[in-house]
Amino acid sequence: MNKLFINNLLSLLSALLVAVLLIYIFSFSDLKFDLTQDKRFTLSDITYDVLQRMPEGITVKVYLDGDLPIGFQRMRTAIFEHLRQFRRISNDSIDFQFVDIQTFDKSLQNTMVKDLYEKGIEPTQVKIKDRKGNLVQKMIIPAALISFDGIDVPVNFLLNNPVFSAEENINASIQNIEYVLINTLNNLIVEEVERIAFLEGHGELNEFQVNDITRELAMYYQVDRGSINGDLNALLQYKAIIIAGPTQAFTNEDKYILDQYVMSGGKILWFIDGVTASIDSMNNGTTLAFIPDVNLSDQLFKYGYRINPNMILDFQCSLIPINMALAGSEPNFMPAPWLYFPLLQGSSEHVLSKNMNLVYSKFVSSIDTVGLLSNIQRHVVLHSSALSRLATAPKLISLAEVKEQPVKEMFDLRNIPTAILSEGIFESAFNNRPLNDLKLKGQHQFLSSSKPTAMLVVSDADIIRNDVRQTAQGTMITPLGFDKYTQQTFANKDFIVNAVNYMVSGGGILQLRNREVKLRLLDKAAILDKRIQYQLINTVMPLFILLIAAVILFYYRKRKYC
């Protein structure tokens, strides 16, 4: 061996040794640099604050594992990276594992899926190609179960918005991972539980009709029900009040107490029907849509709202079963679009409804904002699609309308507001009004303007109503937002929980929904058009470059050593 060869060998071994040492040293460090433009790998300050308060003993079981389609592989990787950072920041207070239920036998799989479904975890069916290239259905569980102190809380990662493509849904789900995990963890460890209440006494939806959303909100708050009964102090202990579908007129006393509750900084979520109609009460296939009077129009007008006496008809709507059989024949029920049941879209401009699935509604009205209220910011958080129109009430509605082909040109309205959030300082609806005739219980000082507060007005009480069925086994509650005809669950529950969380907590953690990871999709049209060109570039070009490099190296060595 010549001296030059030995020196080169020693240099190579030294470089390898240094590289191994550096890899070993950095394996104990989580040092990383986020060079992405949208900072997709950087956690927010809110996340750090929550994680540094984590107690020990939190476990996370993620059921998204195994042989997954490419999109879900990306989601699994993103979940793993988030949980790995969460564990480090929380000083190992959070432990996590990934579970592939496909590794268990079939009977145990079915038991596990049933148990997870009862806990609130939603499996999904996707079509993938097997090894032979055939399309087969596979069940995937893009969800996790977070456990702490004997409490199990489900986390569903997958957003399933029909407006989005499959790639957009996956992308929106990935950018939502930090929020859903941190929101759940924060609610698990909260020490002081805030109180909210459903108002009674004016024909509001009963406890069975709001049972599902009550159970969901009870994971975050103490949820009560009760009447005002003229008591000035009846609402002061609550951070937010929900008024769900009143059918009877409010007295001036109750309106005044609600007004002063808002003036003292209280939050109200109003679910008020602009039109009353019911498809279940149709006689001979018709029903009358009429205008209810609950004596709230003047008060809402003062706060900057007007719920109009009309109904939105929308091309983007749900289905109902219609008997398509001829008279005298056997019934033949077929699903048909029912324009009076719009599927409402969330606004992408506000964290409350950003990237949210569609919201199921029935006979929903439009809302106008009125007055130039300089101290109030208003945000449309739910609206119709780009193909909508209005029908004025009162109106006779017939199921025969389903068989009429809608004229697309008549649906010339877009994004009609159906839910508006207002934040700021409100003027009292009782300014410059005599108060001596009010029969009130208790003492207080009249407030003419409010502390900074918020309220949400939604023009359809069905958005918060779950279906109730009486069976031989007792009262059966259908999940909120579940459409029994399409077997799809819409985002009604998410919308209401987000709204309450935003209004009560000030939207701190909800701000994580503002994160936006840009989806850089391939141009499918260009791929099909220039397929051969791209294949040649990716297969022949690398070999050509290697050949040129080899030729250059050969002539260089020949010139140097010959």
Cα–Cα distances (Å) from 230 to 5, 233, 348, 437, 442, in that order, read 98, 9, 40, 13, 9
* Proportion of the chain above pLDDT 90, given as a percent: 41
Q: Give the helix/strand (H/E) hosting 169.
A: helix 166-175
The answer to whether residue 401 scores a pLDDT higher than 60 is: yes
If asked whether residues 348 and 494 sit together in one domain, one would say: yes
| Residue 336 within a domain | yes
| Residue 261 within a domain | yes
Give yes or no for a contact between 416 and 312, defined as CB atoms under 8 angstroms apart. Answer: yes
Give yes or no for a contact between 312 and 388, defined as CB atoms under 8 angstroms apart. Answer: yes
The pLDDT of residue 212 is: 93
The answer to whether residue 31 scores a pLDDT higher than 60 is: no
| Residue 537 within a domain | no
For residue range 133-152, list pLDDT tens digits in order: 677 778 889 999 999 888 88
Lowest model confidence (mean pLDDT) among 14-23, 173-182, 506-515: 506-515
| Residue 225 within a domain | yes
If asked whether residues 290 and 402 sit together in one domain, one would say: yes
For residue range 156-210, list pLDDT tens digits in order: 888 877 667 777 788 888 888 888 898 888 888 777 789 999 999 999 999 999 9
Quick one: pLDDT band at residue 420, thresholds 50, 70, 90? very high
| Angle, in degrees to the nearest 10, between helices 166-175 and 177-189 | 40
The pLDDT of residue 266 is: 95
Question: What is the arithmetic mean of pLDDT over 296-300?
Answer: 96
The answer to whether residue 4 scores a pLDDT higher than 80 is: no
The pLDDT of residue 514 is: 59
Question: What is the arithmetic mean of pLDDT over 457-467?
Answer: 95
Quick one: pLDDT band at residue 465, thresholds 50, 70, 90? very high
By CB atoms closer than 10 A (0-12, 13-18, 19+), residue 399 is: middle
Give yes or no for a contact between 489 and 123, defined as CB atoms under 8 angstroms apart. Answer: no
Q: What 8-state DSSP symbol labels residue 454?
A: E
By CB atoms closer than 10 A (0-12, 13-18, 19+), residue 448 is: exposed
Question: What is the arithmetic mean of pLDDT over 9-28?
Answer: 75
Domain endpoint, select from 188, 208, 230: 188
Nearest residue to 317 (alpha-carbon basis) of 302, 337, 332, 288: 337
Give yes or no for a contact between 143 and 99, defined as CB atoms under 8 angstroms apart. Answer: no
pTM of the complete model beyond 0.85: no
Question: Domain of 92?
Answer: 36-188
The pLDDT of residue 495 is: 94
By CB atoms closer than 10 A (0-12, 13-18, 19+), residue 310 is: buried
By CB atoms closer than 10 A (0-12, 13-18, 19+), residue 374 is: exposed
The pLDDT of residue 520 is: 55
The answer to whether residue 34 scores a pLDDT higher than 70 is: no
| Residue 223 within a domain | yes
Q: What is the CATH number for 113?
A: 3.40.30.10
If asked whether residues 223 and 280 sit together in one domain, one would say: yes
| Residue 455 within a domain | yes
Nearest residue to 369 (alpha-carbon basis) of 418, 432, 322: 418
How far apart are the C-alpha atoms of 554 and 449, rounded to whole Å?
Answer: 86
If asked whether residues 175 and 205 sit together in one domain, one would say: no
If asked whether residues 330 and 266 sit together in one domain, one would say: yes
More confident call, 553 vs 418: 418
How far apart are the C-alpha atoms of 454 and 352, rounded to whole Å?
Answer: 13
| Residue 356 within a domain | yes
Q: At residue 293, what are phi and psi to the nearest 5 degrees?
A: -125, 105
Total structural domains in the chain?
2
For residue range 307-325, list pLDDT tens digits in order: 999 999 999 999 888 877 6
Domain endpoint, select from 507, 523, 543: 507
If asked whether residues 369 and 486 sit together in one domain, one would say: yes
If asked whether residues 112 and 166 sit together in one domain, one would say: yes
The answer to whether residue 368 scores a pLDDT higher than 60 is: yes
If asked whether residues 455 and 320 sit together in one domain, one would say: yes
For residue range 223-281, list pLDDT tens digits in order: 999 999 888 989 999 999 999 999 999 999 999 999 999 999 999 999 999 999 988 77
The pLDDT of residue 405 is: 82
**267-271/222-227 β-pairing:** unpaired
| Residue 519 within a domain | no
Most confident of 287-291, 318-322, 443-447: 287-291
Domain endpoint, select from 489, 507, 525: 507
Alpha-carbon torsion 327, 332, 333, 338, what sign? Answer: negative
If asked whether residues 254 and 358 sit together in one domain, one would say: yes
If asked whether residues 87 and 233 sit together in one domain, one would say: no
How far apart are the C-alpha atoms of 495 and 463, rounded to whole Å?
Answer: 9
If asked whether residues 420 and 290 sit together in one domain, one would say: yes
The pLDDT of residue 354 is: 83
If asked whether residues 331 and 247 sit together in one domain, one would say: yes
Residues in the chain, total: 562
Give yes or no for a contact between 499 and 352, defined as CB atoms under 8 angstroms apart. Answer: yes
